[in-house]
A and B are shown apart, each in its own frame.
Chain A
């Protein structure tokens, strides 16, 4: 495995939080959608973010894409805090460095425009090509890059003429049009047929290799996180509770929630010794949650401190960290979480 530690960090988020007001006209209550999230993505690195629905994965991507304003925290692009540099929203310059691919390729393409039009839009808006002739060449080049051959045929088609897998490739080509350094891929394969999912994942991996693009790969399918992700982070109720190099995380899950998640994934290899779940219950309400660890209510190892203080980050090894009171020095002293 290539050592990514030498690669420079492109994108970093620090203590990112997002709250949404709810509850009538006074809006006294708040949904704590994202709490104190920090991580970084290096050049050519795939960081996978895994979690159940409602855990805050998509909110993370949307904050980084600057589709929403965070409540607090920092988004650093190549060391610059974008929330300070561009406080009113992202500039064209930021948008052509950071692109997003959405989950549903059936609704992310405009049905009345051709594929060529979809790819031409970002080229025009971001002034990537000057002349019409160059534009067509570039469109064909992008379509060929995402495996749609012959490209000229695809450029003149409409979205309804394409399958789900082909549409998702169009969405990828559209993101590539502006030469991004970061792609935020929000469940890019979950709407696709099983037999074509792996092709799209392989394409993302190939682009990473060819262009050094860094990815935030969001998924609920932890096996696909292992397949494509260099690092994997696990999210629960708006908190990232554990992160590590992907294989390390799957082989030595440390947070009780990660352990639960892994034991729940169907695994045909363990047919002889089927696993049984020890934990019950579902994700707690995110509206004004009680203090402490969000997993405390379901955790088989819960201690009194877990209901009072959110654990701080404990490094288990150089690239494996966890936020849990079972580890580190949080055990005795009731220090407030960083």
Chain B
């Protein structure tokens, strides 16, 4: 395992939804990379483009969504250039995906065992008995009793269904797993159990994770590195604890003062004024400027580039492009 070499590189990715009212650019020049064994988190509000990126990497976008530019590179292969056969190998063997709603991800009229075997037999030449064996082993891994192979999804609780979906994602032992809000529909205790288990499995099997959520506390706790998205763009990337302790982009700072904490003194939080923009007509210049309390004249005219503000810490904000302006770094106690 080479920790410094990227497993997945996304470069200048653009995705548009071609709507009757004109194209909506949901993902706009997004670049990031994920190293071997790393958990990279994409955080942002609903509609910021997180899931669209995940679908673009898997090449499962459907019209009217179209990839209009950029590159996705997985272990040296250009994913966006792959044809049908290559894609069939790439999906699940190289990258698997855990979808948000386990209820919709599982087929209600097939048993859990059949659904896991489906995946195994589709990609590997194994007999029915051997794949059932493997399925039973996968259930062991995610902490479900083997007897549940014969159960239908409706016989399982929400948490168990999500574990079954994770078992399917693990079936071919892929180097990268994309998890799109894997625990959003679950209660906190079950959420914690499942993430703990994923974390243990990751340590054991060494896969990387692209972790997508809107829950900032969860994101900071679970990820190694984080990209913060706003209106289709990545506005800041940094190590998880830097995003939490030393956020640089005004949007990230706002986000961090948007969720109350369980510890420390009670302070009044301010959140962020206004609402996320309509992606059909995004604001000019920096897309955050109408909500930004530090906006300057240039912010509505020119889009800031993502640039290094500290080692391994990048932010897209004009505050860091001008000399003589010291960005405000203090923020309320969380």
Residues of chain A having any CB pair with chain B under 8 Å: 52-53, 163-166, 193-199, 202, 220, 222-224, 226-227, 247, 250, 260-269, 271, 274, 276-277, 279-280, 282-283
Interface contact tally, CB-CB below 8 A = 123
CA gap between A260 and B255 in the complex, in Å: 27
Contact B214 A261 (CB under 8 A): no
**A264 engages B191 (CB within 8 Å):** yes
Q: Which residue of A lies closest to B291 (CB)?
A: A195
Does the CB pair A197–B258 fall under 8 Å? yes
Say whether A227 contacts B266, CB under 8 Å: yes
Residues of B contacting A283 in the complex (Cβ-Cβ under 8 angstroms) = 187
Chain A residues closer than 8 Å to B264, beta-carbon distance: 269
- The 8 Å CB contact of B241, one of A164, A267, A271, is A271
Whether B260 pairs with A53 at a CB distance below 8 angstroms is no
Point out the residue from A247, A261, A269, A280 that lies within 8 Å of B193, measured CB to CB.
A280
- Would you call B272 and A196 a contact (CB within 8 A)? yes
**Residue contacts A-B, CB under 8 angstroms, 23 given:** A52-B188, A193-B45, A193-B276, A194-B216, A195-B272, A196-B271, A197-B259, A197-B271, A198-B259, A198-B260, A199-B271, A202-B271, A223-B260, A261-B188, A266-B222, A268-B241, A269-B262, A271-B240, A274-B221, A276-B196, A282-B157, A282-B159, A282-B190
For the complex, is B268 an interface residue (Cβ under 8 Å from A)?
yes
A277 touches B192 (CB 8 A): yes
Nearest CB in chain A: distance from B264 CB, A = 7
Q: Is the interface of B mostly helix, strand, loop or mixed?
A: loop
CB distance from B82 to the nearest CB of A (A): 35
Q: Which residues of B contact A274 (CB under 8 A)?
A: 221
Q: Which residues of B contact A276 (CB under 8 A)?
A: 196
B260–A226 contact, CB under 8 A? yes
Given known contacts A197-B271, A268-B217, A227 and B260 CB-to-CB distance under 8 angstroms: yes
Please judge, given known A-B contacts A195-B45, A198-B270, whether A264 and B188 are in contact too, CB under 8 Å. yes
* A53-B187, A193-B46 known; A223-B261 Cβ under 8 A: yes
A199: chain B residues at CB < 8 Å are: 271, 273
Q: Knowing that A195-B258, A195-B276, A198-B271 touch, tell me 10 more A-B residue pairs with CB under 8 angstroms.
A: A52-B187, A193-B214, A198-B257, A199-B271, A227-B269, A261-B188, A263-B192, A264-B193, A266-B221, A282-B189
Q: Give CA–CA (A260, B190) in the complex, Å.
A: 11
A213: min CB distance to chain B, Å? 19
A56, B196: Cα distance in complex, Å: 27
Most chain B beta-carbon contacts within 10 A, residue among A197, A222, A266: A266
Q: Which residue of A lies closest to B187 (CB)?
A: A52
Known pairs A193-B46, A194-B258, A195-B254; A264 contacts B192 (CB<8 A): yes
A33 to B262, CA, bound (A): 28
Query: Which listed residue, A52, A166, A266, touches B217 by the CB 8 Å rule?
Result: A266
B68 to chain A, nearest CB (A): 26
Which listed residue (A166, A265, A271) contacts B188, Cβ 8 A? A265
Question: Interface size bucket, B side?
Answer: 35 or more
For residue B92, CB closer than 8 A to chain A, the reply is no
Q: Point out the residue from A53, A198, A282 that lies within 8 Å of B258, measured CB to CB.
A: A198
Q: How far is the CB of A214 from chain B (nearest CB, A)?
A: 19
B193 pairs with A165, CB closer than 8 A? no
Q: Is the interface of A mostly helix, strand, loop or mixed?
A: helix
A53 to B271, CA, bound (A): 26
- Chain B residues with Cβ below 8 Å from A263 are 192
Residues of A within 8 A of B222 (CB): 266
A53 to B185, CA, bound (A): 10
Shortest C-beta distance, A224 to chain B (Å), equals 6
- Check B45 against A52 for contact (C-beta < 8 Å): no
What residue in chain B is nearest A227 (Cβ atoms)?
A: B260
Q: From A54, which residue of chain B is reached at the shortest CB distance?
A: B187
Known contacts being A222-B262, A264-B192, A268-B217, is A202 close to B268, with CB within 8 Å? yes
B310 at the interface (CB under 8 A from A): no
Complex CA–CA separation, A193 to B218 (angstroms): 16
Q: How far is the CA of A280 from the CA of B222 in the complex (A)?
A: 20
Contacts of A226 in B (CB 8 A): 260-262, 266
A195 and B221 within 8 A (CB): no
Contact B262 A267 (CB under 8 A): yes
- Contact between A247 and B266, CB atoms less than 8 A apart: yes
Q: Are A194 and B214 in contact (CB under 8 A)?
A: yes
Chain A residues with Cβ under 8 A from B40's Cβ? none
Contacts of B266 in A (CB 8 A): 226-227, 247
A297 to B327, CA, bound (A): 53
- Closest chain A residue to B269 by CB distance? A198
Q: List the B residue with the shortest CB-CB distance to A267.
A: B262
A223 contacts B271, C-beta separation under 8 Å: no
> What 9 pairs between A and B have smallest CB-CB spacing?
A198-B271, A227-B260, A264-B192, A52-B187, A266-B217, A268-B220, A163-B275, A195-B272, A266-B218
Using CB atoms, name the residue of chain A closest to B243.
A268
Contact partner of B259 (CB less than 8 A), chosen from A194, A220, A247, A261, is A194
Is the CB of B215 closer than 8 A to any CB of chain A?
Answer: yes
Query: Closest residue of chain B to A268, judged by CB?
Result: B220
CB-CB under 8 A from A266, the residues of chain B are 188, 192, 215, 217-218, 220-222
Query: In this assembly, does B99 line the interface, its C-beta being within 8 Å of a C-beta of chain A?
Result: no
Given contacts A193-B275, A197-B271, A227-B269, contact A267 B217 (CB under 8 A): yes
**CB contact between B189 and one of A164, A166, A260, A269 (< 8 Å): that residue:** A260
